Amino acid sequence: MPFKLIKKSKKSQARLGKLKTAHGEIATPFFMPIATKGAVKNLTTTELKKLGSPILLSNTYHLYLAPGLEVIKRAGGLHRFMNWPGLILTDSGGFQIFSLSKIRKILPGGVEFYSPIDGSKHFLTPKKVLEIQKNIGSDIAMILDVCPPSTASRKEIERAVAMTTKWAQKSKIENCKLKACPERGRGIENLFAIVQGGLHKDLRLKSLNDLVKLDFDGYAIGGLAVGESAKEMYSVLDYLVKAMPSNKPRYLMGVGKPENIIEAIKRGVDMFDCVIPTREARHGRLYLWFDDLSLRGGRLRRPTKQSQRLLRFARNDIWYQTINITNAKFKNDFSPINNTNLKSYSKSYLHHLFKTGEPLAMRLATLNNLDFYLRLLAEIREAIKNNRL
C-alpha cells in the first residue's frame, strides 16, 4: 500500500500520513507548487529544492503539446528534462481541455480538440493520457475526467459523472495491462481518480462510490474552487471527505487560499495545489505572517511564536495578511520582506523593483509566497501532531 495513515487529530478530522512513490516518500498533508509546463514561473528547480518543496505539479495536456512526448522521452523523462529530483504529480489536462469549449468535442471514447498553438487536431483517450504520463515519468498521475463548468446544468453534470466513471474504468484496465506487461514499460504506481458532481450531494456520492469500486490508489475532488462560494465548497467537503476511503490519500484540486487549505485539512483532506502563490506574486501581492509586517515605532514587530500561530489556526484567528508591495506606502519601508528566506531584502527595495519593471521583482515575490505556503503546511503538520488542529 503506497499510502500509510500515521495519525488522526483528536481535535478534528485532520490527519498525518506518508505516501511512497518512485522518487521518494512525502508527508501529508502537503502543497504542490505549479510547474504547468515543466517550470515554476520565475524559479529554478534548485531554488525550489532549497525552499523545501518535495513535489511539483505539471500538466499532461501542456507538456503533450510542447515540447511534445518525443523530446521528453529523449531527455529521459520530465525529472531529468527539468532537473528535478523530487516528486511530480501530473494533472490529466481535463480541466484545460474542457475550458477550450470552442475548439474541443467530447466523444464517448475521449476528447477531440485543436491545439491553441498551431491548430493541429488531437484526440486524447483515457489510454493515451496514461501512456503520456508514463513517458513523462509521473510519480502520481490523474486519470482523464470530464470537468463541467460551475454554471453547468444538473443534466450536464450527470453526463460528466457518467463519462468520468466510464473513462476511469478504461484507465484502470489499461494501467493493469501496463503493470502486467513489462515489455511495455511499468504501469503507474499512484493512479488517482477524480470525483465530480458539482454541488449536488447525490451525484458527488454516486461518483465517489463508483470510483471506489474500481480501487484507485487515491481520490481527488475536482470541480470545486470554480466559482462557488467558500461556504458551498465546505458544504461539499463536509459530507464527501468523510465518505472517502480512510486508507487512501485525498486530494482537493486547485485550492486555494490559506484559510481554505486549513478548513479542508480539518475535514480530512491531504493534498493541495493552487496557482495563487505564484500568480499573485507576479502582480506584487505578498503573503506574510504577522511577524513579517511593516515597521512599528521604528522597530520590527516581535515575531509570533509558532505555538501561538498554531493556536490561531485552531481558533480561526487572523494570522496572516496580504499586501500589495506596489503601494506607495512601501516606498520607504526598510523592514525585511519576510523573516525567513528574504530577510536580506527590504520591502522598499522590492517596491522599487516592481515600479521599475525589474524581472527580479517577480522572482523575489514568488520566493516569498512559496516559502509562506510551504511553511504553512509544515506548521499545520506540526499542529496536527500536537492535536492543536
Q: Which three cell numbers stand for residue 39?
A: 517550470
Q: Within the chain, how many helices (H) and strands (E) appear?
A: 14, 16
Mean model confidence pLDDT for the chain: 90
Determine the average pLDDT of the residues in 70-97: 92
Weakest-pLDDT range from 68-77, 177-186, 357-366, 368-377: 177-186
333 catalytically annotated: no
Of 273, 292, 333, 371, which one is the catalytic site residue? 273
Q: 121: part of which helix (H) or strand (E)?
A: strand 121-124
Give the pLDDT band (50/70/90) at residue 113.
confident
* Residue that is written with C-alpha cell 477531440 in the block: 112
Single-letter amino acid code for the residue at 120? S
In the predicted structure, residue 181 carries a pLDDT above the cut 70: no
Q: What is the pLDDT of residues 320-373, one digit of tens each?
A: 889 999 999 999 999 999 999 999 999 999 999 999 999 999 999 999 999 999
pLDDT of residue 295: 33
115 falls in which pLDDT band (50, 70, 90)?
confident
Choose the weakest-confidence range: 213-227, 256-270, 281-295.
Answer: 281-295
CATH number of 3-273: 3.20.20.105
145 is catalytic: no
End-to-end CA distance of the chain: 27
Position 307: which residue type? S
DSSP-derived 3-state class of residue 385: helix
Nearest Cα to 46, choosing from 77, 75, 83?
83
What confidence tier does 304 reach under pLDDT thresholds 50, 70, 90? very low
pTM of the prediction?
Answer: 0.92
Which of 91, 139, 217, 292 is the catalytic position? Answer: 91
Winning range, highest mean pLDDT, from 152-161, 174-183, 202-211: 202-211
Domains of the chain, residue spans: 3-273, 281-385
